[in-house]
Amino acid sequence: MAGLELVPHPTLRAPRGPVCLVVMDGVGLGPPDAGNAWHLARTPFLDRMMTGPLVGSLRAHGRAVGMPTDEDMGNSEVGHNALGAGRVFDQGSKLVGRSIASGRLFEGETWRWLLEACRAGGTLHLIGLWSDGNVHSHLDHVDALVDRAIADGAARIRLHALLDGRDVGETTALEYLAPAEAKLAELRAAGHDARFASGGGRMQTTMDRYEADWRVVERGWRAHVLGDARAFDSASEAVRTFRSEQPGVIDQNLPPFVVRGPDGAPAGPIRDGDAVVFFNFRGDRAIEITRAFETPADQPFPFERERVPEVRFAGMMQYDGDLGLPRRFLVSPPVIERTLGEYLARSGVRQLAVSETQKFGHVTYFFNGNRSGAFDAALERYVQVPSDRVDFWQRPWMKAAEITDATLEHIDAFEPGFVRVNYPNGDMVGHTGVLRSAIIAMEALDLSLERLVRGVLDRGGVLVITADHGNCEQMVERDKKTGALVAGESPEGYKASTSHTLNPVPVAILGAEGLRWDASVPEPGLANLAATCLNLLGFEAPADYERPVLAMPDKETT
């Protein structure tokens, strides 16, 4: 495509082997304390790596990755967007908040289309992650939708709460449900038929991604659509009961449930003529449930849906522009174009992307600017290692060894110029809140990463090793006033933390002898690495990309 060809760098030449961008998912830089899994783990390779000459830290949260404020955690979506785009784009939460505040969301065609169904007798169903974690959703957005729907004449509203405990405290569900139940009671007292209908923990109900386990979506479908799950008189009662029956269970793992209405029947199965909004703004865990609603009943599907209601379905945003999922959405997603991957494809550079299922879409879809598929299939190879279908604290090594095997194998077979790899251990195990497992996860990562580094360097390559956000370096909650670790019921005597962090992330560049860190780059972030990789590949970076973190030599370097 004209205008997307890269210009050779005046003083840098590509190495003999590939330039390899390695993402240690969820591995930030935190205090070396009793809650830091990296600090507690035996990681001799990583420890040596962090003493090298081309080592630094990057901002991976807040405004540095397009979030509304610097109090907002980074996440894998925005982190990989920044890594691949080389620039910072306003992300979902910020775009949705702005659209609500300006009123544009409610003036749009999709909102009017949804409310037509409600005024004609249909129920408005709102499904999504029930927290203010601001990674997949935010309850402020839900409040605004409910208030405006009532003002616009919606006769019935049903809420389907996917409980978090992952982007927020691991057992905070009741803190989010109780105020909502109080508000719904006030609305009913004022004559508005609004109540909870179903829910469940996000890792058990509805929010699967990358087709890792369609059973998660099936459980959600049965609860939300068919009204088929264990029934309770309230969402809070469901949480309290599950906790009493499964001591130690955390919110993300709670089973699906339905809420009974006044007549004792499920309060809100989704039926023909209803309107449905999936209010998550992030796409990876929204695509499969979107497909369940938008795939016609007479077409094959990964699970038996039994009944496919004719509804008006919309997403908070469009989750996949290439696939057109969903067809209707309330807020337009960021338009991310001219990514690193696209520039390389148009310039004839072979690319390899490798991860296991849980993060495969991060090094493909998110890295490519929320785009499915390759820019040039002949020049790109995407390799997915199937993830285990278990709670990852039970398999903290995950597929780190297999990812390394696959990467080196395909480097030899495909001879790519640029490679991107994601090791999910720090994030996926960090989210479980099990410190002992997170320590093992870091040790497994250390072993596999050392083997990958040796293999790439032996092949004449260069590595840029970083992370997309923090997680496993802060496995214990901190007192917000004092910063002290909070005591709790974990085996170590602390209250576990399962969320991402606000910490910076490491970056280390190996195999780039003769180059030096550019100390003049102010507060570099993840977006600065795209230009860095392009320079290491022997190309000038586009003028609007964030600056590289390496100073460029005056004389030609290979």
pLDDT tens-digit series, residues 436-492: 999 999 999 999 999 999 999 999 999 999 999 999 999 999 988 888 999 998 899
> What single-letter DSSP state applies at residue 65?
G
Q: What percent of the chain has pLDDT over 70?
A: 99
Query: What is residue 268's predicted lDDT score, i.e. its pLDDT?
Result: 96
User: Helix (H) and strand (E) counts for the chain?
Assistant: 17, 17
Mean per-residue pLDDT over the chain, rounded: 95
Query: What is residue 155's predicted lDDT score, i.e. its pLDDT?
Result: 94
Lowest mean pLDDT, pick from 43-57, 262-276, 314-328, 519-533: 314-328
> What single-letter DSSP state applies at residue 62?
G
Query: What is residue 401's predicted lDDT score, i.e. its pLDDT?
Result: 98
Residues 359 and 159: their CA atoms lie apart, in Å, by: 29
Residues 197 and 429: their CA atoms lie apart, in Å, by: 31
Query: What is residue 556's predicted lDDT score, i.e. its pLDDT?
Result: 64
Task: Name the band, by pLDDT with cuts 50, 70 and 90, for residue 5.
Answer: confident
- The structure tokens listed for 107 are 């003036």
pLDDT value at 402 more than 80: yes
Distance of CA 380 to the CA centre of its chain: 23
Lowest mean pLDDT, pick from 106-110, 431-435, 554-558: 554-558
Q: Active-site positions?
A: 76
Residues 485 and 495: their CA atoms lie apart, in Å, by: 8
Residues 548 and 464: their CA atoms lie apart, in Å, by: 12
SS (H, E, C) 383-414: EEECCCCCCCCCCCCCCHHHHHHHHHHHHHHH
Query: What is residue 489's predicted lDDT score, i.e. its pLDDT?
Result: 86
Alpha-helical regions (H) of 252-308: 287-294
pLDDT tens-digit series, residues 224-280: 999 999 999 999 999 999 999 999 999 999 999 999 999 999 999 999 999 999 999
pLDDT tens-digit series, residues 201-226: 999 999 999 899 999 999 999 999 99
Query: What is residue 323's predicted lDDT score, i.e. its pLDDT?
Result: 83
Instruction: Kindly list the distances between the CA atom of residue 332 and the CA atoms of 67, 247, 281, 364, in Å, as whole numbers in the listed order.
Output: 16, 42, 10, 21
Task: Name the band, by pLDDT with cuts 50, 70 and 90, for residue 553.
Answer: confident
Task: Name the band, by pLDDT with cuts 50, 70 and 90, for residue 555.
Answer: low
Average pLDDT over residues 488-502: 91
Q: What are phi and psi of 18, to 5 degrees?
A: -80, 155
pLDDT value at 141 more than 90: yes
Q: What percent of the chain has pLDDT over 90?
A: 89
Closest CA to 134 of 101, 105, 168: 168
CB-based contacts of 356: which residues, under 8 Å, 6+ apart? 384, 385, 386, 387, 398, 399, 402, 403, 424
- Residue 373: count of CB within 10 angstroms of its CB: 12
Query: What is residue 471's predicted lDDT score, i.e. its pLDDT?
Result: 96
Break the chain down into helix, strand, coil percent, rounded to 5.
Answer: 35, 20, 50
pLDDT value at 292 more than 90: yes
pLDDT tens-digit series, residues 302-325: 999 999 999 999 999 999 887 889
CB-based contacts of 380: which residues, under 8 Å, 6+ apart? 341, 345, 350, 351, 352, 353, 374
pLDDT value at 21 more than 70: yes
Query: What is residue 1's predicted lDDT score, i.e. its pLDDT?
Result: 47
State yes or no: cis peptide before 326, omega within 30 of 0: yes
Place of tokens 């955390």: 250
| Domains with residue ranges and CATH for the chain | 19-90+336-550 (3.40.720.10), 93-331 (3.40.1450.10)
